[in-house]
Structure 1
Amino acid sequence: MDALRRLFPYLRPYRAYALLSLATLTALVFLDLAIPRLIQRIIDDGIRPGNQDVVLSTAALMLLISLLSAGVAIGNNLFSVRTGEGVARDLRADLFDRIQGFSFGNLDRQRTGLLMVRLTSDVNALKHLTQISLRIGTRAPMMMVGSLLLMIQTSPPLALTLLPLLTVTSLLIGIFIFRMEPLFRVVQQKLDRLNTVLQENIAGARLARGFSRADFEIGKFDAANRDFANHSIRVMRFMSTMQPLLALCVNAGMVVVIWAGGLQAIEGTLSLGQVVAFGNYLLTMMTPLIMMTMLSNTWAAGLASARRVGEVFADPPEVQDLPGARALPEDLSPTLEMNNVRFAYASAGGDDVLHDIALAATPGQTLAILGATGAGKTSLINLIPRFYDTRAGTVRVGGEDIRTVTQRSLRKRIAIVPQEALLFSGTIRENIAYGKPDASLAEIEAAARAAQAHDFISALPEGYDSHVEARGANFSGGQKQRLSIARALLPHPDILILDDSTSAVDVETETRIQDAMALSAASRLTVVVAQRISTVLKADQIIVLEHGQIAARGSHRELLASSPIYREIYDSQLGGGLPGVRA
């Protein structure tokens, strides 16, 4: 129940609809409970004495009540749907906001497929839970209590005769509800696994095809799919066993009513109409019980979903603004310093991936970070915008310890072009202007020219209004990288970070991009991460990373003379020389 308490604040904005739903539900219960009494009147006061007027007038009243019940039921459904949809919309928005505030460490821990399930399936399960609770979850106990009271009023001895059967039925329902929740929790876990496998397969479809691993992926999905189906069958098997038992209880109850009630009617202690009314009240009481068991899967799924959504809200961002954090000054000089920095990923077992990193760079400089895959290059640059916090040491931008300033003000001064050039569905214009939505077309074109993207954009039929498919699927790797560079250049950041962002373009295009960016780099600090040595030749300072440590630093010429590691990289990549470059 603690997990469900999180829903209560989301009900407050819609309490008017919820109260109207409860009010219409109460009216509906009273109207439904009136029908058996009217049937009793038709039999005892109309049919038996042969009074046609009583039969017609009471039947007309039943018709009127039925029409009124239908109208009230429609209103109840509308109010409950409005409440459930509102709760789901607000919960989904808050959940999305929470995920947007996650640090990279949180996202490393919470897999994409699972977060997608939380935002979609789990929120929908809670929506259904809200709606069902306002319709049947509240109506069922009211119908049961009302029917039981009217049964006792009609014939206390007959009601007492049914007490053992009602007790057994209640115990069966309790066992059913108690067992369903853990079963559904396991089913939801299996569904999580299935969704994760599916999401990873779709994201890596090209890779699977490229390595002819389609059969392996099909097998992996089939295993997860089979596991989910097997556990779902267990739940359905349990439900299919319980429902006939409850139906048996209802039928046994009707047999008792006909037998014991019939005897009382023969003896004259009960009228025939009262026996029929009593039987109707029994059905009115037992039917909601059976409906509750049928809907207990909704309850169990909603409870499991509430726990899972609660886990997302309970996961605090690993990187947070400290109390009293201030914005970076507008006139900040974009310097960068790292002093004795150590860093480790929590998800990697806590072993340091960066050891005692110390560096400094000033405005107008290009700082290059070179190293093999796994050397720690991306880990290092992720510390600059504070995507992660250091384990030890400090990172300073403009002389300010980045832990003492707001993340928003820090990241507004930094632009990053990641290793994987990610484009959003929309237009080229919208993608380039992502960091500066109010940019003019002239500004967008200038950024595209600097990134050597203007020519291929202009060649497209729609130009800058050309459609971009999800993840930029309709552009080549080099085109996506150039569009990503244009997006980063447009806001004129104080610090520009290029994480191996020209790996998919040829050396000649890369050189033109570097020359164009150099024209506007006088007051900007540029950090370039690369594996290709041609990318870093013109850098003011080159840092060579090896196993998370700085193995060498200096300019290209200095490192050729002093660093065997750098010289080995240079010879292996450019042993034959590069046009316009001399050792």
Structure 2
Amino acid sequence: MLKLFRFLNVYKLAIAIVLLFTFLQTLSELYLPTLMADIVDIGIIQGDVTYIWKIGGFMLLVAAGGTLASVLASYLSSKVSAGFGQTVRKKVFVHVGNFSLQEFDKIGTASLINRTTNDITQVQQVLNMMLRMMVMAPMMCIGGIIMAISKDAQLSWVIVGVIPVLSLAIFAIVAKGMPYFKVMQAKLDRLNLVLREGLSGIRVIRSFNRTDHESKRFEQANEDLTNTAIKVNKIMAAMMPVMMLVMNLATVAIIWFGGIRIDNGDMQVGSLMAFIQYAMQIMFSLIMVSFMIVMIPRAQASAVRINEVLDMEPVIEDPAAPRTSASARGKGVVEFDHVTFSYPGAEKPALSSITFKASPGEVTAIIGGTGSGKSALVSLIPRFYDIESGSVRIDGVDVREMTQEQLRAKIGFVPQKAVLFSGTITDNIKYGKEDATEQEVRHAAEIAQATEFISGMKDGFESMIEQGGNNVSGGQKQRLSIARALVRRPEIYIFDDSFSALDFKTDAKLRAALKQETTASTVIIVAQRVSTIMDADRIIVLDEGEIAGIGTHHELMASNQVYREIVSSQLSEEEIA
């Protein structure tokens, strides 16, 4: 957790002021019992009303000063902890934004969300507590002991006997409860995972009547977390009764032995009253320490998880001395040279010895069976993953020798699963080019065959898209995703099975419009439907991660068995002829 506190450097002055005000508040609380003792021993016993008013007024001033210091310390500590939380959340979010898909696969989206929200909140709360209690508790304990001894050294032996008993009870309870806090964080991750899957996959769940199954999954994860929380809370709940029992027994002992000392003339009534309050302050300081001991391990477990994210170095990094292609804009030649790639932990490569070249003004299509490596291949161009061997070059420059920003600025990528963001249709299309004009947005939508359904919506291009694009169909999502890539006007277009939700008529119109729009760009299309890629200048047939053939439709029909099998499975003999 100390490692995270490096983000507190900007709050040094505020922290110093918090510590100062907490110190003043503690002094105030330690001084009040002595003033009360003086009122009793001098003012009341001697009947000095003037002295009572004088010291009473001074007590009010001390109490008011302590209260003011407490309010200011609470305000500033809350401000510091909230600012710290904001800073760490921003750092985590920005750092995660640099992750490759490999890091996302390793940690998991649900866990990343939990670490960015719940874990940072845990550390933030403990920081707020530490800024106050970390100074107050030891000061109050040590100051209380000194003041109690100054009132009556002999009676202080009661406190000496009580403190080890109270400390031992606190230690035993905390030691038993601490392991459960780490377990709770892992179980909270599991609950978030089940909840996320249940909400994002609600259509599938309902279509297969698996609502009861998902409810049981959630109930199991929820019950597992609840049972662990109940266990730890039962353990920690024992702390307060035990401490109150010890404190009350200590009070009884102080009054008992204090009464004897008063009767013997060794102590005054006011001093005994002050002594009792100092004893309570000492024991309450131990209670504060116990709360910190309870909270710190939980925050430490959260801090470890946050640091895991911050310390995780992305596998894909920008080169120290990036290169740029010497060619003018409008090129975009993509070359794969004996490329081999494996997913992390995979037993065999997803792609083996892939070699081909895609040039501007041409359409290069990639087709193959499920799991043949089509999506893996196109994900290497924008460098979502790094290759094992060989090279992927754009305009003669290896993608690993370019910055990710330079590389991706050349590419208009339409993913296999269309992703839309909450906001207007215009906002979603402008995601591809932030400064796109209204004319560019409308032109991109027209090419993507999206204008017709957009104009049918209530507010046209200003119509709102719900979270996840739930208020538009799959085909409409795909067309808006395509428009988002088109408005960018990149050198390289990558369509990863981006026409699968379109009907044949819309598909044909869209490809015809794209052909006119992308004459100067390199177009790479991944498709399952043969009809989508029959007119491509080059078709690459993948089979189990290897190239089974390259050529035009007619060339492959004549020479490639794998391609013929794909075609015959989709088209009738008349259509093939």
Measured after TM superposition, the shift of residue 171 of structure 1 is 2.6
- Counterpart for residue 367 of structure 1: 364
1:380–1:246 Cα change, 3 Å: same
Measured after TM superposition, the shift of residue 336 of structure 1 is 1.2
- Counterpart for residue 423 of structure 2: 426
Question: Superposed, which structure 2 residues align to 1:32-43 within 5 Å?
Answer: 32-43=29-40
- The answer (yes or no) to whether the contact 2:339–2:388 under 8 Å persists in 1 is yes
- Counterpart for residue 451 of structure 1: 448
- The answer (yes or no) to whether the contact 2:325–2:396 under 8 Å persists in 1 is no
- Counterpart for residue 131 of structure 2: 134
Counterpart check, 1:289 vs 2:286? yes
- The answer (yes or no) to whether the contact 1:191–1:228 under 8 Å persists in 2 is yes
Paired residues in the alignment total 576
Counterpart check, 1:147 vs 2:152? no
* C-alpha distance in 1 between matches for 2:430 and 2:438: 9
- Counterpart for residue 6 of structure 1: 3
- Counterpart for residue 196 of structure 1: 193
User: Which deviations, in whole Å up to 9, do the C-alpha atoms of 1:391-438 show, x marking residues without a partner?
Assistant: 111111111111111111001101110011110001000100112111
* C-alpha distance in 1 between matches for 2:324 and 2:7: 33
Measured after TM superposition, the shift of residue 327 of structure 1 is 4.1
User: Which deviations, in whole Å up to 9, do the C-alpha atoms of 1:150-172 show, x marking residues without a partner?
Assistant: 11222222223431321222233
Q: In structure 1, what residue type is equivalent to 2:57?
A: A
Q: In structure 2, what residue type is equivalent to 1:85?
A: A
Question: Superposed, which structure 2 residues align to 1:181-580 within 5 Å?
Answer: 181-329=178-326, 331=328, 333-346=331-344, 348-575=345-572, 577=574
Q: Which moved more, 1:325-334 or 1:304-313?
A: 325-334
User: Which deviations, in whole Å up to 9, do the C-alpha atoms of 1:117-169 show, x marking residues without a partner?
Assistant: 11111111111111111122321111111111111222222223431321222
* C-alpha distance in 1 between matches for 2:137 and 2:574: 83
Structure 1 unaligned residues grouped into runs of 5+: none
Measured after TM superposition, the shift of residue 328 of structure 1 is 4.6
User: Which deviations, in whole Å up to 9, do the C-alpha atoms of 1:543-567 show, x marking residues without a partner?
Assistant: 1111111112211001111112211
* C-alpha distance in 1 between matches for 2:229 and 2:10: 36
* C-alpha distance in 2 between matches for 1:186 and 1:498: 44
- The answer (yes or no) to whether the contact 1:542–1:555 under 8 Å persists in 2 is yes
Q: Percent identity?
A: 38
Measured after TM superposition, the shift of residue 330 of structure 1 is 6.6
Measured after TM superposition, the shift of residue 16 of structure 1 is 1.6
- The answer (yes or no) to whether the contact 2:334–2:392 under 8 Å persists in 1 is yes
Measured after TM superposition, the shift of residue 513 of structure 1 is 0.9
Measured after TM superposition, the shift of residue 350 of structure 1 is 4.5
User: Which deviations, in whole Å up to 9, do the C-alpha atoms of 1:271-330 show, x marking residues without a partner?
Assistant: 111111111001011112223324544323211111110111121111112222234557
User: Which deviations, in whole Å up to 9, do the C-alpha atoms of 1:215-274 show, x marking residues without a partner?
Assistant: 111111111111101111110111122222222221122122112222211111111111
1:536–1:468 Cα change, 3 Å: same
Measured after TM superposition, the shift of residue 372 of structure 1 is 1.7
- The answer (yes or no) to whether the contact 1:328–1:405 under 8 Å persists in 2 is no
Q: In structure 1, what residue type is equivalent to 2:424?
A: T
CA RMSD of aligned residues (A): 1.5
Measured after TM superposition, the shift of residue 518 of structure 1 is 0.8
1:380–1:474 Cα change, 3 Å: same
TM-score (norm 1): 0.96
* C-alpha distance in 2 between matches for 1:253 and 1:329: 84
* C-alpha distance in 2 between matches for 1:484 and 1:330: 29
* C-alpha distance in 1 between matches for 2:412 and 2:233: 53
- Counterpart for residue 58 of structure 1: 55
Q: Which moved more, 1:218-227 or 1:282-291?
A: 282-291
* C-alpha distance in 1 between matches for 2:187 and 2:535: 53
Structure 2 unaligned residues grouped into runs of 5+: none
* C-alpha distance in 2 between matches for 1:577 and 1:39: 106
1:154–1:350 Cα change, 3 Å: farther
Question: Superposed, which structure 2 residues align to 1:75-224 within 5 Å?
Answer: 75-224=72-221
Measured after TM superposition, the shift of residue 111 of structure 1 is 1.1
User: Which deviations, in whole Å up to 9, do the C-alpha atoms of 1:349-381 show, x marking residues without a partner?
Assistant: 353111111111111111111012211111111
- The answer (yes or no) to whether the contact 1:328–1:410 under 8 Å persists in 2 is no
* C-alpha distance in 1 between matches for 2:543 and 2:351: 10
Measured after TM superposition, the shift of residue 452 of structure 1 is 0.5
**SS of residue in 1 equivalent to 2:517:** coil
* C-alpha distance in 1 between matches for 2:77 and 2:509: 62
Q: In structure 1, what residue type is equivalent to 2:340?
A: R
* C-alpha distance in 2 between matches for 1:552 and 1:372: 13
- The answer (yes or no) to whether the contact 1:377–1:529 under 8 Å persists in 2 is yes
